[in-house]
Amino acid sequence: MFDYHIHPNYSIDADGSIDDFCLAAITKGVKEIAFTTHLDTDRKTEDCIVRVKDEIIDVRSKVWIEDYEDAIRTAADKYRNENLVVLLGVELDIYPRVIESLPEGFLDVEWDLIIGSVHLIDHQAISLKNEAESIFSKYSVEELGEKYFSILLDTIETSVINILGHLDLYRRFGEDFYGFQIHELWRPHIDELADRMKKYNVGFEINTSSWRKGQQEPLPSTDFIKALVNRGVKTITVGSDAHTPNDVGADVDRALNLLWSSCGVQPSRFQKGKKVINR
How does pLDDT run across 3-36, given as a tens digit for each residue? 999 999 999 999 999 999 999 999 999 999 999 9
What pLDDT is recorded for position 276?
A: 86
What pLDDT is recorded for position 44?
A: 84
User: pLDDT digit of tens for each residue in the chain (279 aa)?
Assistant: 899 999 999 999 999 999 999 999 999 999 999 999 999 988 888 889 999 988 999 998 889 999 999 999 999 999 999 999 999 999 999 999 898 889 988 999 999 999 999 999 999 999 999 999 999 999 999 999 999 999 999 999 988 999 999 999 999 999 999 999 999 999 999 999 999 999 999 999 999 999 999 899 999 999 999 999 999 999 999 999 999 999 999 999 999 999 999 889 999 999 999 888 654
Residue 127, class by beta-carbon neighbours within 10 Å (0-12 exposed, 13-18 middle, 19+ buried)? middle
What distance in Å separates the CA atoms of residue 215 and residue 227, rounded to the nearest whole number?
20
Q: Give Cβ neighbours of residue 7 (< 8 Å, ≥ 6 apart).
A: 13, 14, 35, 36, 37, 38, 91, 241, 242, 243
How many CB atoms lie under 10 A from the CB of residue 197?
A: 22
What distance in Å separates the CA atoms of residue 118 and residue 168, rounded to the nearest whole number?
9
What distance in Å separates the CA atoms of residue 220 and residue 214, rounded to the nearest whole number?
15
Q: Give Cβ neighbours of residue 252 (< 8 Å, ≥ 6 apart).
A: 1, 2, 3, 30, 208, 238, 239, 240
Taking the domains of the chain in order of start, what are their residue ranges? 2-267
What distance in Å separates the CA atoms of residue 22 and residue 17, rounded to the nearest whole number?
9
What pLDDT is recorded for position 277?
A: 67
Q: Are 2 and 269 in contact (CB under 8 A)?
A: yes
Q: What is the DSSP secondary structure assignment for residue 44, as one 8-state letter? A: T
What pLDDT is recorded for position 274?
A: 87
Pick the CATH number of 2-267 from 3.40.109.10, 3.40.50.1000, 3.30.720.210, 3.20.20.140: 3.20.20.140
Dmax (CA) for the chain in angstroms is 53
What pLDDT is recorded for position 43?
A: 83
Q: Are 177 and 136 in contact (CB under 8 A)?
A: yes
Q: Are 2 and 252 in contact (CB under 8 A)?
A: yes
What distance in Å separates the CA atoms of residue 141 and residue 266, rounded to the nearest whole number?
33
What distance in Å separates the CA atoms of residue 3 and residue 16, rounded to the nearest whole number?
16
What pLDDT is recorded for position 77?
A: 97
What pLDDT is recorded for position 279?
A: 44
What distance in Å separates the CA atoms of residue 4 and residue 242, rounded to the nearest whole number?
10
HSE-up (13 A, CA, CB side) for residue 211: 20
Q: Are 122 and 178 in contact (CB under 8 A)?
A: no
Residue 69, class by beta-carbon neighbours within 10 Å (0-12 exposed, 13-18 middle, 19+ buried)? middle
What pLDDT is recorded for position 269?
A: 93
